[in-house]
Structure 1
Amino acid sequence: MSATTTVRRTVRNLADGREIIYYDDTPGAPPRTTDDDRPLPERAAAGHLRYDALIGDWVAVAGHRMNRILLPPRDECPLCPTGRGSIATEIPDPDYDVVVIENRFPSYAPVAVDDAPGEAPFEHRAALGRTEVVCFTSEHDTSFRSLSPRRVRTVIDAWADRTARLSQIPEVEHVFCFENRGPEIGVTLHHPHGQIYAYPYLPARSREILAQAQAHHARTGRLLGSDLLRAEQADGSRIVITGTHWTAYVPYAARWPVEVHLAPHRDVPDLVALDDAERDDLATVYLDLLDRLDRYHRTEDGGPVALPYIAAWHQAPVRQGREVSRLHLQVVSVLRAPGTLKFLAGSESGVGGWVNDARPEAIAARLRSLAD
């Protein structure tokens, strides 16, 4: 995996058969041999997909997710190592570096109930795929921003490894790695973690990005993502960070009160294609960006505000358009000001007509001013 850190990968099974994958970068970390002996019920099967004929998109219906845990007290956190709280958790071992777990309450799952496809206009099919939780650290009271560059590099390697392996599942069409941070975003667990969705179809926004990339390539013979990066670099007014292999910038048509894109300088379709130097630089640049984002807003007494955000990796689809797709990370926040959220009200939610009260150039200037 990492050129600078040796990462040991260990695959085990939880009591209900779900996989747990350990990514250990600590020298001398003990073998992962602890069994999960919890009396768990049978693992949740996949729900189903319903086709929205009005707009030509799919909606996953997963009723079992109504029973998932919501913001439990610290000593009942299911993502802490077993032994640190009052319950046996999803991680049987007493410590870990980075762990990936099949979600106990999945939107998509590899096991399906008997669900014959429906007929138009009420088409439906099993939501086959995979939903995983990525635990960034065993420490509960911290954040991604507080990780060491070495640990972030391990997370990057885990994202890439899971992308490669999930892409081999026959039903999977798209792999999406992301982090939701903060109750304003809707997180259900405080422990620092992200998720990976392996979709059995290409979601709407990913489909739109692909369509634009294909049209641009047909007109110019070039990659749209590459042309956008070069244009932002040439303009310069929205550039936030320039690393050796990565550039962070606020997009020209940013939709959110805070929005930053992080793009590699080399044309790569997904996380799997990143080389060691690019992964090392990503760990450094991403931590710099997250540090600035957490200092973007200030309280009345001048203190920093932990920014709620969604960090979304846009990768090439598994089986189509890979030759025109280009990897980038999109980080967005709904926080307009401390205590004030941007609501997706009538225009945004009703017809998708976005209005942004923040000028992208002002967002970028603010983030540039927060350099250490």
Structure 2
Amino acid sequence: MVPQTLVALVLAGRAFLPGGGEPSPAVPSGGAALPPITARYEAGPREVTNWRFEAVDDLQPKSLVVLAALFRAERPVVSRCVKLNNYWCIKSARWNGELATDSEGHVGFASADHGADAAANLLRRYYLNFGRKSALDIVRRWAPAECNIATSLGGAAMLAVKGIGGTLRARYLASRRKGGSVRYTAKAGPSGKPGRVSMVLPIRTPQYRVPDIAAGMGEKKKAVQPAAPLVREARPAPRPAPRPAAQPTATASVAPKPMPKPETSTACAPDEQRLRNYAGRMVETLGIGPTDDLKLFEANGTPLPNLAAVMLAMSSFELGVLRATPDLIEGAIQRMKERAASERAALQGGGGAPSSQ
């Protein structure tokens, strides 16, 4: 009874969706030309006009998708990538079916099939062309860390701050002032140009004696003592400098102090944890670690079985509550297999180099 109710809910939702009568542009296999694209990107709401229609077909859980599309739900149920038919939040690279990009470079695809094809092709590019075999290597490029310090400064700003604060002179000056501390600021320049790192050191100025011309305003003038006559004394012969005492050898009771471990930058600690969580989600159903080979493709570009599981996990991590359907992913993998076969046949027949997309 539950499957029939779910089907009825999906069909009813499709009928009431805005633009539900518009056909979704199909992605043909092989190198055939695409039909005219009916979907369009609207810059105001930052969405593709057919995203509800595509979401009902290609996202799950179905009941939540239909309700979210009908009642125009926003975050956290419907993320911006859902409205772009881009269930892997891919950036622009002249993908097939790319309509436009939002203010942050995320692609608005004409259909969810185009978005799935782009995700599969991008993973193949990372795996084969860039040599990123593990989940952690892929996500470091797929979703790079965004530190709190301006990205134009990168690690140089953090190294500069730590270098200034770690000097012996800075620590000494900071310790000489009661209740004071050394403050640092990092500011990026205009148009993403490298900025500068500033340091504020609270320093106490020395107290000088009041000069004679201002006597009565501060200290009292002291009586001047007559200078004693200079008597030249015989200079004693120099003595040899004493040798330093031998250092005691390390014993069980007197152990040498451990050397401090090299300090690592913690400016991107939250993003680093996010990347590790992302990589862990990608491999949790494969029985491997985040730094192990994912085994996504053969050397000739043929997809392997792990690709479907990785794409499903990545879609779930990117979208949060929703995720791509297995049918959408399997369709993209099948089209990739057909293209790989046609490219191999073209190479064997002298047809030229295969395309990257």
- The two structures have a TM-score, normalised by structure 2, of 0.25
Q: Which has the higher strand share?
A: 1
Greater relative CO (CA pairs within 8 A, separation 6+): 2
Q: Which has the larger radius of gyration?
A: 2
- The two structures have a TM-score, normalised by structure 1, of 0.25
